[in-house]
Structure 1
Amino acid sequence: MERAERGMMAWSLAGHDRGKLYVIAGVEEKYAWLCDGDIRPLEKPKKKKWKHIQIMKRIPVEFRDIQWEHVKNEEIRHSIKAIGLQNDRR
C-alpha cells in the first residue's frame, strides 16, 4: 500500500466506477473512503480496497492545511474538475 493522506486524489481501477477520479476522504488499514462531491458526497463516501485504486501523489491546494469538517461537496467537485484531466481513463 502506498502512503495516502486525506485530500489526495485517486483513480478507481476496478468496479463499475473504473476510471473515475475521487478525493480520498478517509484512510483505514485496508480501505480508502472516496468521494467525488456528486454521486458520492462527503456524507456517503465509497469504501474501496487499496488494490483497487491508484493514488495521485499530490494534494490540491484547496485541501492543504484545512479542517476536513468544513469542506463542502462543491469544493470537491471543483477540485476534481480543476485537475484538468478527463474523469474517465478507459
Structure 2
Amino acid sequence: MNNEFELGQIVFSKCGRDQGKPFIVVSIEEEYVHLVDGKLRKVDNPKLKKKKHVQKTNTIMEWIKLKIIEENRLTNNDVRKALDEYLGQSSVE
C-alpha cells in the first residue's frame, strides 16, 4: 500500500467530533481529502479533512470508485451500502 489516498477508499477519522467514524474518500487535494458517509456527510456536501487526521484502510470499494470517476453518479445510498458492507466484513474477521 502506498502513502497516497485513492478514490473509493474507506478511511476512519482520527480526531474531531467524528473520531472513529468510517468515511469514503470522494475527492483528493494536496493535503486534504473530501469524505462522505451518506448520513451526516452527504455526497453533495463532503467533509474536508486534512490527510494527517485520517486513518487509511487497505480497502478500496472499486464499484464506488467507478461511480465517482463516471462524473459523480455516486448517491448517498451507494455510500451507506458500501460502508455497511465493509463494516459487516470487518466485524466478522
Shorter-chain TM-score tier = 0.7 to 0.9
- 1:82 matched to 2:85: yes
State the 1:60 CA deviation: 1.7
State the 1:64 CA deviation: 4.3
SS in 1 for 2:84: helix
CA-based RMSD: 1.7
- The verdict on how the C-alpha distance between 1:25 and 1:65 changes in structure 2, with shifts beyond 3 A counting, is closer
Q: Which runs of 5+ in 1 are unaligned?
A: none
Structure with a larger share of its residues in helix: 2
Displaced runs of 4 or more, over 3 A: none
- 1:48 matched to 2:57: no
Count of residue correspondences: 86
- The verdict on how the C-alpha distance between 1:68 and 1:38 changes in structure 2, with shifts beyond 3 A counting, is farther
- The verdict on how the C-alpha distance between 1:68 and 1:58 changes in structure 2, with shifts beyond 3 A counting, is farther
Query: Is contact 2:8-2:62 (8 Å) kept?
Result: no
- 1:70 matched to 2:73: yes
